[in-house]
Chain A
Amino acid sequence: AQSVSQHNHHVILSEAASLELGCNYSYGGTVNLFWYVQYPGQHLQLLLKYFSGDPLVKGIKGFEAEFIKSKFSFNLRKPSVQWSDTAEYFCAVRLAGANNLFFGTGTRLTVIP
């Protein structure tokens, strides 16, 4: 079955630590990949997306993600996290040309000042 996996359910980091959140998917064919962030009490916001081209994608707020096709992965990274990065992070996948987004279960990031 098609799925999106986020293996880290809750990550706790100190400020200035580096972040990497895993995302793996099991769809065949061409996919579009997304990372969304949900700050406490707010709606989902797009962090970054990958459709084609350079597999290293840079998004807002210093986040980046790398698409590794051979590993079916799209991990999110940030070299130095801030307290304001505390939020829930969702990876999402869409088959190219399709409407539907399939979401992972989310990873809660807590950054300790």
Chain B
Amino acid sequence: GAVVSQHPSWVICKSGTSVKIECRSLDFQATTMFWYRQFPKQSLMLMATSNEGSKATYEQGVEKDKFLINHASLTLSTLTVTSAHPEDSSFYICSARGDRGNTDTQYFGPGTRLTVL
């Protein structure tokens, strides 16, 4: 099946630093990628949707200047958490939808656990 990877799988950083998370579709081209955030014992909350080569569309309440999303190619999207603070600690999950098989299905990455000290 379609595979989506994320790197790193976990990261610990100091408050005020920036962290970049990569999301890759390994065996298909992802025309659309999604970034979610999952708090402990809660559901996945969509942060933004990005289409290759265009600006991301952010959900209400998500600061686009804080969570920078770049979808530079059909296989790679990055999420950069700028000036991270402890409240940004969370589990970040990406998903991709593309030209593989049924284009209505999203394939999820394994997630990245961010801890901000």
Q: Using a CB–CB distance below 8 Å, which chain A residues touch chain B? A: 4, 32, 36, 42-46, 49, 51, 90, 99-106
Q: Tell me which residues across on chain B come within 8 A of A44, comparing CB atoms.
A: 44, 93, 95, 108
Task: Determine whether B8 belongs to the interface, using a CB cutoff of 8 Å to chain A.
Answer: no
Contact A90 B111, CB 8 Å, known A49-B105, A99-B34: no
Question: Is there an interface contact between A103 and B105, defined as CB atoms closer than 8 Å?
Answer: no
Measured as residues with beta carbon below 8 angstroms from the partner, the interface class of chain B is 20 to 34
Q: List the A side residues contacting B46 at CB < 8 Å.
A: 100-102
Which residues of B does A touch, CB under 8 Å? 4, 32, 34, 42-46, 49, 59, 93, 95, 97, 104-111
**SS class, residues of chain B in contact with chain A:** strand
**In the complex, which of the residues B4, B104, B110 contacts A42, with contact meaning CB atoms closer than 8 Å?**
B110
For A36, what are the chain B residues with a Cβ–Cβ distance below 8 Å? 108
Instruction: State the CA gap A46–B2 with chains docked (Å).
Output: 11
Contact B108 A43 (CB under 8 A): yes
11 example contacts (A-B, Cβ-Cβ < 8 A) are as follows A32-B104, A43-B4, A44-B93, A90-B43, A99-B49, A100-B59, A101-B95, A101-B106, A104-B43, A105-B43, A106-B42
